[in-house]
């Protein structure tokens, strides 16, 4: 967010509504109106004085109305833009023309009641719709006494209760009498999978957030008794099942039941529920959390009318499986929850994908509108050490445990420190301005920030340093949140002492830090795509659409992958073959890759037998789309399986149903879900098997309406709109019967006779049946990810899928720069999600190619040629092949770092027998002084006087 | 904050400043385009800015 606020190429127009959108792809005209904030953004310093003086109260929407704020306020300190605003609905001046107390209070004279709505026309080449989602109506929630009893809260309200910036500063309290709730119930599927409120779809996110909220509540109060009432637990995403398991291990209870109602009961709530066996029970609770679903945004219809695209029957944007990010209006794309309920990683992936195809559409305009950010020249830092220390409260994250003022004053006594201060949120936009001002004012030439993890905000602070004319290496960050206030939450004194130690060490190191030069390396504007299935072909043609050359490698003898037979795939194969920018190699395999982002070189083999050959390809980026294949377990739920005509996998059944055989739809089928998945053989959920089973069941019913179909399942995971198909199947008489892992179904075959026995929880009895067919819903296994993982030095998960750089925010990037992943190699997923991911991967992969060069992190190894004895120990140890041997002028072998490949791990430096290698930003001198400072009881100033 | 650039070409409008819109805007700038990020409320961030931690890793969401 702050990054968006800082970008010179993003103009943030808040308080702004779209009025109309006209024109055609490449040339749209958007009329917008910006409503007044009544505060000048350029003048407001976000000091907060106005809020203190404002006499009127209003409910705080940001906190879901759980507490009060003033009409003049900011939602939260890190808000972007960090400018206060006046809510015209409650401001006394704007409603009754009185008051205006805030005007003289504001020191920077930022308040301006004369502002009026401003209309503008934007000329744009493409549009991305990302209006998000709406709220489930209160009418739907009223069934559970929401609105009648204050302790029935929505999950978003509960989210705010858990949040340190929330109404009780992170303490969970009952809204009725402020007591800490001991027994908490979560009710799933509120406003989802509910035709009563016309939301037949599954909102796809609620199971996950309920588990998260339950876990966080349990962290707050380990004694809390938490129960989640659910129909199906839909944790189908990558590694999501594992999180649910962790929740169970922590003592959170999961009960499969329908909740009938929630009624006030003394100062408690009485929750009535019915379980599958038909029993009704009730249970008292202190608090009930409604896991509300995602509704279409309230202005969906208006947007659709204005822009001229279609909505689906649930008022979300209508898109096609094979063009999942395109609205029905050309040049207008959609991303995020407006494209159907989805979680954060999926939204982020869609956004990247939509950005990529928009970029492809108007590639001729690329670069014409952008502004290049310029930084002031780096100033000479001289010999005088002038350190500034900034200690962050992180709201209450640090400040409630560590004595921040004490740490800050402590730092002020240290040698070289010329300025010290504390800040509430040092990552906020206004704090960056303060940082810049202080650097100038006190002529600081080194900055130490004691706050959170450098992983999140170091780049931000370094950017601010650059803005202030300092080299970004003149920065040292101390993590007093994770390492002090979090881990020592119960020992505030010790946490404060430790913070002081860490700050003292950082200052000691900072005295020795030097500016490091930034280096850039040009890139080769070609992509290498591994895998010629839907994912790989989509990625390759998107790269080509964006104007980049692409090598496409397929290990089989033809393109197409798992979905060769789909019409879409056939069309895609034709497109790829015709595209002049794509060179496809079949029977091809990657043998070796060296180099780094922008400059990779790979050796591949292609062709068969006598025509086999080895080719070297140079390219700038790599997209992995190597896919997965069907898992064929030899045993399912403890039953050994011999695949035959009658015991088949769902994909085999699907194929049979596509055929013309008269008896292709058997009279009776038992489908077994999670065959070999979710801990049976594979650990994970393959995400697509429930959908496939339901689709096959419907297809069978269509051909043979009398066919008796029983689906044995653990959780039916027809998330999103697939829930409609599940409903349809149930209405058509397909029986869905859950099984438990401690009472698994048995499957046996004697000749042609099949026998399946299972426990029916509704009849409370064991059932035995002799179906004509058993269809196993088997999962997917990734293909050869282990080999590729070693070749490209990218990590895989315990389940052998590629592990992305950040599961939420960087879902298609791998930790090695310039390497991206999409499709089934990332995790099992349906076709529309594969395509989105491929589009996202190609957008991300295009970024370094668009830029034309890569910037090398200055923290790299430095080899002093004088001291190097050419022993080659470092070259043999470097895990990134980033050190090469060269000859010096006397023809002696010397080691040399390939800076663009170096990941700054420091292995070379720590092993060099002659100490010839130092790491930029981590020299021996810097580290030694840091360690020495740790042992020093007395402050530097005392030492000086001594 | 960025100042308006009156170029007719090479710009994209992103409507909605939640996590999806912000990500799309950032990616578009990296792909060489100028972006108008249009948000109806007074700040960007959307619902994600209301979340403290995120599933399944319980990372900070801001």
Contact A745, A758 (CB under 8 A): yes
Q: Within 13 Å and on the Cβ side, how many CA atoms surround A85? A: 18
| A487 at interface of B, judged by CB pairs closer than 8 A | no
Q: Is B23 domain-assigned?
A: yes
Question: Crossing angle for the helix pair A831-851 and B19-30, nearest 10 degrees?
Answer: 40
At residue A47, the pLDDT reads 77
Reported as a pLDDT band with limits 50, 70 and 90, residue A48 is confident
pLDDT at A336 > cutoff 60? yes
pLDDT at A81 > cutoff 90? no
What is the rounded CA–CA span in Å between residue A481 and residue A500?
13
Contact A184, A224 (CB under 8 A): yes
Mark yes or no for CB contact A354/B24 under 8 Å: yes
Of B4, B20, B50, the CB nearest to A335: B20
**Residue in this structure with the two tokens 């282990």, named with its chain if needed:** A786
CA-nearest residue to A13 within chain B is B38
| A3 at interface of B, judged by CB pairs closer than 8 A | yes
Q: What is the mean pLDDT of chain A?
A: 93
Task: List the 16-75 stretch of A: residues with Cβ below 8 A of B.
Answer: 16-18, 28, 30, 32, 37, 41, 62, 64, 74-75
Q: Is B49 domain-assigned?
A: no
- As a whole-number percent, the residues of chain A with pLDDT over 70 amount to 99
- Domains identified in chain B, total number: 1
pLDDT in tens, A296-319: 999 999 999 999 999 999 999 999
**Residue A134 is inside which H or E element, if any?**
none
At residue B53, the pLDDT reads 64
| A261-278: average pLDDT | 93
Q: Is B36 domain-assigned?
A: yes
At residue A816, the pLDDT reads 86
Mark yes or no for CB contact A75/B43 under 8 Å: yes
**Residues from chain B contacting residue A212 (CB–CB below 8 Å):** 53-56, 58
| A615 at interface of B, judged by CB pairs closer than 8 A | no
At residue B23, the pLDDT reads 95
| A799-821: average pLDDT | 92
pLDDT in tens, A484-542: 998 998 999 999 999 999 999 999 999 999 999 888 889 999 999 999 999 999 999 99
**Residue in this structure with the two tokens 């939509």, named with its chain if needed:** A354
Q: Which of A177-191, A312-326, A916-930, B17-31 has the lowest mean pLDDT?
A: A916-930
Mutate which of B5, B7, B24 to disrupt the A interface (most A C-beta within 10 Å)? B24
pLDDT in tens, A594-619: 888 899 999 999 998 888 999 999 99
**Residues from chain A contacting residue B35 (CB–CB below 8 Å):** 9-11
3-class SS at A822?
A: coil
Contact A117, A16 (CB under 8 A): no
**Residue in this structure with the two tokens 């149903």, named with its chain if needed:** A657
Q: Is B25 domain-assigned?
A: yes
What is the rounded CA–CA span in Å between residue A530 and residue A588?
9
Q: Which residues pair with A31 in a beta bridge?
A: A20, A121
pLDDT at B5 > cutoff 50? no
pLDDT at B7 > cutoff 60? no
Mutate which of A28, A344, A395 to disrupt the B interface (most B C-beta within 10 Å)? A344
Mark yes or no for CB contact B49/A79 under 8 Å: yes
Mark yes or no for CB contact A11/B3 under 8 Å: yes
| A215 at interface of B, judged by CB pairs closer than 8 A | yes
For the CA atoms of chain A, what is the radius of gyration?
31
Of A215, A355, A368, the CB nearest to B27: A355
Contact A557, A851 (CB under 8 A): no
Q: Is B62 domain-assigned?
A: no
At residue B56, the pLDDT reads 57
At residue B3, the pLDDT reads 43
Mutate which of A3, A5, A6, A13 to disrupt the B interface (most B C-beta within 10 Å)? A13
Mark yes or no for CB contact B16/A159 under 8 Å: no
**Residues from chain B contacting residue A851 (CB–CB below 8 Å):** 30
Q: Is B57 domain-assigned?
A: no
pLDDT at A163 > cutoff 90? no
Domains of chain A: 2-124 (no CATH), 138-292 (3.50.50.60), 387-514 (3.40.50), 523-616+793-851 (3.50.50.60), 630-781 (3.50.50.60), 861-919 (3.30.70.20)
Reported as a pLDDT band with limits 50, 70 and 90, residue A1 is low
pLDDT at A718 > cutoff 50? yes
Q: How far is B54 from chain A (nearest CA, A)?
A: 7
**Residues from chain B contacting residue A336 (CB–CB below 8 Å):** 16, 18-21
| A69-79: average pLDDT | 88
Which has the closest alpha carbon to A443: A504, A506, A379, A505? A379
Q: Is B59 domain-assigned?
A: no
What is the rounded CA–CA span in Å between residue A449 and residue A470?
15
CA-nearest residue to B19 within chain A is A348
- For A613-676, the DSSP string reads EEEEEEESEEEE---EEE---SEETTEE----SSEEEHHHHHHHHHS--TT-S-SEEEEEEEET
pLDDT in tens, A357-378: 999 999 999 999 888 878 899 9
pLDDT in tens, B34-62: 999 999 999 998 888 888 666 655 555 44
Reported as a pLDDT band with limits 50, 70 and 90, residue A429 is confident
Q: What is the DSSP pairing of strand A735-738 with strand A708-713?
A: parallel
Q: How far apart are the first and last CA of chain A?
A: 49
Q: Which of A384-388, A798-802, A932-936, B7-11 has the lowest mean pLDDT?
A: B7-11
Give the ipTM. Answer: 0.90
| A81 at interface of B, judged by CB pairs closer than 8 A | yes
- As a whole-number percent, the residues of chain A with pLDDT over 90 amount to 81
Q: How far is A725 from chain B (nearest CA, A)?
A: 27
Q: Is B53 domain-assigned?
A: no
Q: How far is B9 from chain A (nearest CA, A)?
A: 6
Q: How far is B4 from chain A (nearest CA, A)?
A: 7
3-class SS at A894?
A: strand
Which domain, by its residues, includes B21? 12-41
| A159 at interface of B, judged by CB pairs closer than 8 A | yes
| A684 at interface of B, judged by CB pairs closer than 8 A | no
At residue A46, the pLDDT reads 76
| A181 at interface of B, judged by CB pairs closer than 8 A | no
| A188-217: average pLDDT | 94
pLDDT in tens, A120-161: 999 999 999 999 999 999 999 999 999 999 999 999 999 999
């Amino acid at each position: 967010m702050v990054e968006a606020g800082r970008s010179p190429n993003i103009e943030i127009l808040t308080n702004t509504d779209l009025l109309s959108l006209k024109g055609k792809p490449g040339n749209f005209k958007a009329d917008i109106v910006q409503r007044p904030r009544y505060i000048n953004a350029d003048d407001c310093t976000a000091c907060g004085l106005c809020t203190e003086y404002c006499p009127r109260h209003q409910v705080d929407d940001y906190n879901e109305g759980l507490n009060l704020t003033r009409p003049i306020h900011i939602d939260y300190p890190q808000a972007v833009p960090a400018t206060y605003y006046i809510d015209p609905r409650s401001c006394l001046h704007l409603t009754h023309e009185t008051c205006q107390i805030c005007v003289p209070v504001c020191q920077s004279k930022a308040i301006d009641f004369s502002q009026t709505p401003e209309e503008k026309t934007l000329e744009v080449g493409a549009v991305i719709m990302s209006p998000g989602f709406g709220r489930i109506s209160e009418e739907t929630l009223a069934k559970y006494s929401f609105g009648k009893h204050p302790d029935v809260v929505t999950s978003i309200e509960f989210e705010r209760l858990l949040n340190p910036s929330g109404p009780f500063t992170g303490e969970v309290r009952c809204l009725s009498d402020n007591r800490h709730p001991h027994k908490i119930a979560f009710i799933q599927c509120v406003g989802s999978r509910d035709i009563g409120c016309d939301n037949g779809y599954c909102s796809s996110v609620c199971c996950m957030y309920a588990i998260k909220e339950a876990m966080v509540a349990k962290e707050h109060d380990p004694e809390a008794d938490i129960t989640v009432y659910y129909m199906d637990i839909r944790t189908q995403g990558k590694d999501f099942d594992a999180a649910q398991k962790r929740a169970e291990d922590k003592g959170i209870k999961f009960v499969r039941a329908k909740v009938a109602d929630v009624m006030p009961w003394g100062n408690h709530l009485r929750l009535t529920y019915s379980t599958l066996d038909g029993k009704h029970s009730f249970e008292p609770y202190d608090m009930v959390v409604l896991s509300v679903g995602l509704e279409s945004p309230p202005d969906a219809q208006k947007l659709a009318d204005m822009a001229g695209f279609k909505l689906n029957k649930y008022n979300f944007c209508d898109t096609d499986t094979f063009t999942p990010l395109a609205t029905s209006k050309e040049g207008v794309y959609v991303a995020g929850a407006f494209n159907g309920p989805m979680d954060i990683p999926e939204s982020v992936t869609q956004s990247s994908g939509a950005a990529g195809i928009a970029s492809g559409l108007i590639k001729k305009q690329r670069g014409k509108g952008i502004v290049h950010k310029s930084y002031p020249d780096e100033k000479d830092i001289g010999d005088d050490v002038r350190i500034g220390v900034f200690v962050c409260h992180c709201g209450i994250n640090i400040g409630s445990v560590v004595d921040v003022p004490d740490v800050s004053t402590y730092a002020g006594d240290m040698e070289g420190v010329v300025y010290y201060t504390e800040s509430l949120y040092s990552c906020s936009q206004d704090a960056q301005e303060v940082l810049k001002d202080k650097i100038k004012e006190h002529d600081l030439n080194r900055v130490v920030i004691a706050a959170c993890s450098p992983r999140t905000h170091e780049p931000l602070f370094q950017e601010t340093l650059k803005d202030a004319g300092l080299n970004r290496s003149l920065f040292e960050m101390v993590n007093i949140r994770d390492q002090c206030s979090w881990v020592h939450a119960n020992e505030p004194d010790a946490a404060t002492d430790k913070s002081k130690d860490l700050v003292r060490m950082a200052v000691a190191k900072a005295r020795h830090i030097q500016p490091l030069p930034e280096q850039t390396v040009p890139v080769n504007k070609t992509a290498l795509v591994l895998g010629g299935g839907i994912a790989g072909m989509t990625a390759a043609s998107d790269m080509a659409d964006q104007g980049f050359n692409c090598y496409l490698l397929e290990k089989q003898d033809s393109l197409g992958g798992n979905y060769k037979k789909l019409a879409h795939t056939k069309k895609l194969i034709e497109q790829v073959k015709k595209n002049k920018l794509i060179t496809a190699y079949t029977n091809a395999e990657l043998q070796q890759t060296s180099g780094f982002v922008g400059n990779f070189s790979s050796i591949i083999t292609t062709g068969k037998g006598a025509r086999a050959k080895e080719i070297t390809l140079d390219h700038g980026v790599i997209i992995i789309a190597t896919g997965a294949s069907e898992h064929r377990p030899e045993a399912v739920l403890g039953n050994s399986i011999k695949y035959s005509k009658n015991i088949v996998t769902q994909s085999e059944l699907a194929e049979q149903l596509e055929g013309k055989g008269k008896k292709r739809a058997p009279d009776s089928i038992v489908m077994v879900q999670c065959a070999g998945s979710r801990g049976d053989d594979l650990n994970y959920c393959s995400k697509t098997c429930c959908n496939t089973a339901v689709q096959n069941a419907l297809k069978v019913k269509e051909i043979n309406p009398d066919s008796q179909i029983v689906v044995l399942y653990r959780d039916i995971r027809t998330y999103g709109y697939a829930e409609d198909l599940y409903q349809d199947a149930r209405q058509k008489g397909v029986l869905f019967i859950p099984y438990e892992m401690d009472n698994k179904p048995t499957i046996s075959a004697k000749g042609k006779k099949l026998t399946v026995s299972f426990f029916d929880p509704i009849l409370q009895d064991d059932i035995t049946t002799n179906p004509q067919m058993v269809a196993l819903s088997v999962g997917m296994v990734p293909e050869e990810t282990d080999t590729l993982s070693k070749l490209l030095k990218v990590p895989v998960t315990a389940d052998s899928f590629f592990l992305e750089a950040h599961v939420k925010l960087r879902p298609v990037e791998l930790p090695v720069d310039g390497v991206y992943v999409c499709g089934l190699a990332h995790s099992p997923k349906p076709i529309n999600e594969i395509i989105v991911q491929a589009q996202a991967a190609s957008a991300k992969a295009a970024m370094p190619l668009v830029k034309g060069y890569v910037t090398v992190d200055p923290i790299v190894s430095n080899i002093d040629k004088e001291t190097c004895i050419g022993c080659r120990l470092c070259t043999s140890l470097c895990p990134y092949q980033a050190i090469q041997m060269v000859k010096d002028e006397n023809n002696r072998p010397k080691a040399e770092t390939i800076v663009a490949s170096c990941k700054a791990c420091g292995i070379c430096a720590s092993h060099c027998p002659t100490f010839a290698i130092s790491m930029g930003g981590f020299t021996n001198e810097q580290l030694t002084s840091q360690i020495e400072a740790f042992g020093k009881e007395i402050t530097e100033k005392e030492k000086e006087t001594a | 904050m960025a100042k308006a650039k009156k170029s007719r070409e090479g710009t994209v409008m992103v409507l909605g400043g939640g996590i999806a819109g912000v990500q799309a805007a950032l990616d578009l700038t990296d792909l060489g385009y100028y972006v108008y990020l249009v948000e109806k409320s007074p700040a960007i961030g959307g619902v994600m800015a209301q979340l403290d931690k995120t599933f399944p890793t319980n990372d900070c969401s801001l």
